[in-house]
A and B are shown apart, each in its own frame.
Chain A
Amino acid sequence: MTEKSMARSDFYTGIALIAFGLAVTVMALQMPPVTERGQSPYSAPGLLPALLGGVIIVLSAVMFVRAVRKLRGEFTLSRGGVKNFFAETGTRRMSLTIFLCLAYVLSLGRIFFPLATFLFVFIFVLVFEYEKAVPVRAQKKKFALAALLAGITSAAVTGVFQYIFLVNLP
């Protein structure tokens, strides 16, 4: 990240963290004071969370002010910058990874675990190895290797956890 974009991210994170700190403090202050049960007021469950909320507000406020000084009014993101970020190969690869991983996790408990694992590994490998420009026939080996890796992973993980560690897999 460049200094400018870091300052911009600090600006927005600062706002979010101040709001978060406020929420933490308000909720902490709403916690019971425990004095009505004859307990010491210093043992109240909201004591530390309220202090933590306060510290988070102070630290994020410092970060926010520092970012404002660095940005000198240039708070908004440029359309071109956002476009470039999403057009980058790295961003696309990361988004694809997150999407595939989330899809796998969401399938757990809905699809038979060994099948879900097989499909996840198989699709993951192929998505990153498949080349559009090359005909499918020429990429048969890639398909076979992906299937082999997925099969071995699924069988090994299921076998070890289900039958050796006795974990009831989702």
Chain B
Amino acid sequence: MFEGIEMFGAALWGFLNVRTIFNALWATQLGIVIGMLPGLTATMGVALLTTLTFHMAAGDAILILICMYVGSIYGGSRSAILLNIPGTPANAATTVDGFPLAKAGLAGKAIGIATTGSFLGSVIGMFTMALFTPLIGSVALEFQSFEFFWFAIFGIVICGNLTAPKDPLKGWLAGFLGLFVAMIGMEGIHAYVRYSFGSTNLSGGIELIPAMVGAFGFAEIITVMRFTKFEVVKTKIDRTLPRLAEITRYWKTIVRSGIVGTFIGAVPGVGEDIAAWVSYDLAKRSAKPEEAEKFGKGSIEGLLAAETGNNACVPGAIIPVLTLAIPGSAPAAVLLGAMLIHGVRPGPLIMLEFPTFVYEVVAMVLLSTTSMFILGLLMVKSLVKVLMIPRQKLMPIVFVLCVVGSFSISSRLFDVGVMIVFGLLGFLLREMDYPMAPLVLGIILGKMLDNNLRRSLVISDGDITPFFTRPICVALFAITLIVILSRIPWVTAFVRNIKNRLRPPRSPA
């Protein structure tokens, strides 16, 4: 415990220099701008910046990426409030109460509340992360191949289920397609090259970063260019710094949303958008009747819940990245990729191999959160102008960065091709309501699933009982099965039928 505080203090002290603070400030500001612009998401920002910071020192690069992540998830609230369009999917719940507040002439207040909520959410998430990462890390040391196999399946099923609430089948299909993508190239046990069709480039496998730059960058450019322009709400932006009483009144909502957001962040692949909606829904259910009526019409509590929830999700999503090498959200998946590129090996051994790194990440989150809070309350009026930049002027520059970024990692035009293919594929899949998060999670978890399945079967000599008898395996299998069964219509109808039969008959009035 004290060792952890000591390492956190040392990491924070190490960051208190002009260069680091400058990096934190510009990256967070860039994140806010990217988050603000509808179509440019946190995932795209982190993926693009991974390619741009590729040549930097590991510490600097990861700090910049975390700042971009925190900044963009917050930045999306700006367009949600002023345009009624979430800047990133994470801010969809923010529009529900943020935009009515702006229309009522309270845009400044709404921005201030969103900033404070995001800040407090990040802080709660950061504390949870500092507390639980070493704990989960030490538990994860006990995991064997059997558990990792189930973690991968569990991740795909849960992520597919939650990111495609209307049709989980498409979420699962996207996840399994992602797992297949990870099969391309040389496998890790016998060095056999799979699905490369004689291509030297394909035998090296599909790199995660160009694929993500395509799926989240190029695909979004195409989507954004479909429409002509957005209308910014005409409102006066006055005082943005909220009054203390406005915040303390809702302390229960803040704490609840912070914890819920962090927990949802830690679930594999389930990102900030779900965290915001769940926090918002819980706040609405537990609000006092007079407050509950305001939800959807400009409720401060609703806005706080959504923004606290989505930003708390950010540190939450980093917890499984560090302890299990499983991303909690799509931007965290890129962050995981970036850590691997920079020579950090996240996973159960992190507390043994890089114990100080975990606390460095906590300090990075604190630095980015503080930068976000300060920058979020400053330059509000001037940043509104960013929303007015015509998309035809911005998108070609973003595309040039997508191309150069994909190319710069391995200096191969093949990676640019990967970016294009995944961009077009991502666009088509999204048009047909397939979520992108399970696909990305599949690409990341594919190798882990493959190696652990084969390793487990070799250890048990083909006996599959350990997959269903080890305690953690039983729990993961049971949750996975329940999730799948709960989405099969005839199963739910059957359960409902049994429930009705078991219910005692009502006595006639």
Contacts and interface: CB of A to CB of B under 8 A. Distances in A.
B180 A109 contact: no
Interface stretch (A71-79, A91-99, A133-141): A91-99
B411 interface: yes
Contact of A43 (B179, B189, B404): B189
A144 interface: no
Nearest to B179: A52
Contacts of B54: 165
Contacts of B2: none
A168 B433 CA distance: 39
B226 A93 contact: yes
Contacts of B55: 165-167
A13 B169 contact: no
Contacts of A56: 173, 176-177, 180
A139 to B, nearest CB: 14
Contacts of A111: none
Nearest to A150: B396
Contact of B408 (A31, A49, A165): A165
Contacts of A153: 396-397, 400
B449 interface: yes
Interface string B192-228: 1011000000000000000000000010011101111
Contacts of B192: 31-32, 45
Interface in B157-205: 169-170, 172-173, 176-177, 179-180, 183, 187, 189-190, 192, 194-195
A94 B222 CA distance: 6
B458 A42 contact: yes
B250 interface: no
A97 B173 contact: no
Contacts, number: 155
A128 B392 contact: yes
A55 B446 CA distance: 14
B413 A167 contact: no
A25 B483 CA distance: 26
B23 to A, nearest CB: 15
Contacts of B396: 100, 120-121, 124-125, 153
A167 B462 CA distance: 48
A104 to B, nearest CB: 7
Instruction: Select the residue from B218, B393, B404, B407 with max chain A CB neighbours within 10 A.
Output: B404
Contacts of A169: 404, 407
Contact of B420 (A17, A39, A62, A105): A105
Contacts of B401: 157
Instruction: Select the residue from B54, B173, B228, B462 with max chain A CB neighbours within 10 A.
Output: B173
A25 to B, nearest CB: 11
Interface string B415-427: 0110010001000
B395 A49 contact: no
Given A97-B222, A124-B395, A13 B432 contact: yes
A98 B454 contact: no
The B interface, classified by DSSP as helix, strand, loop or mixed, is: helix
A49 B407 contact: no
In this complex, the interface size class of chain A, counting residues with CB under 8 Å from chain B, is 35 or more
B3 interface: no
B420 A42 contact: no
B183 A49 contact: yes
B190 A34 contact: yes
A42 B393 CA distance: 55
A149 interface: yes
A120 B399 CA distance: 10
Given A63-B173, A120-B400, A97 B221 contact: yes
Nearest to A96: B225
B222 to A, nearest CB: 5
B60 interface: no
A115 interface: no
A24 B181 CA distance: 11
Given A52-B179, A165-B408, A43 B169 contact: no
Contacts of A60: 173
Interface string B426-466: 00000111000000000000000110011101100110000
B432 A10 contact: yes
A43 B407 contact: no
B169 A62 contact: yes
A63 B434 CA distance: 12
A94 B407 contact: no
A108 interface: yes
A53 B194 CA distance: 14
Instruction: Select the residue from B170, B183, B424 with max chain A CB neighbours within 10 A.
Output: B183
28 contacts: A1-B431, A1-B432, A17-B173, A41-B462, A45-B187, A48-B450, A52-B183, A55-B176, A62-B169, A90-B227, A91-B226, A93-B227, A93-B228, A94-B223, A98-B222, A105-B416, A108-B403, A108-B416, A117-B400, A120-B396, A120-B399, A124-B399, A125-B393, A128-B225, A128-B392, A161-B404, A165-B54, A169-B407
CB-based closest 10 A-B pairs: A42-B457, A128-B392, A124-B396, A45-B192, A90-B226, A97-B225, A121-B396, A167-B408, A165-B55, A40-B458
Given A47-B457, A128-B392, 18 more contacts: A17-B173, A27-B195, A43-B454, A45-B192, A45-B194, A49-B183, A49-B195, A56-B177, A59-B169, A97-B222, A98-B222, A105-B420, A121-B397, A121-B400, A124-B396, A128-B225, A149-B397, A169-B407
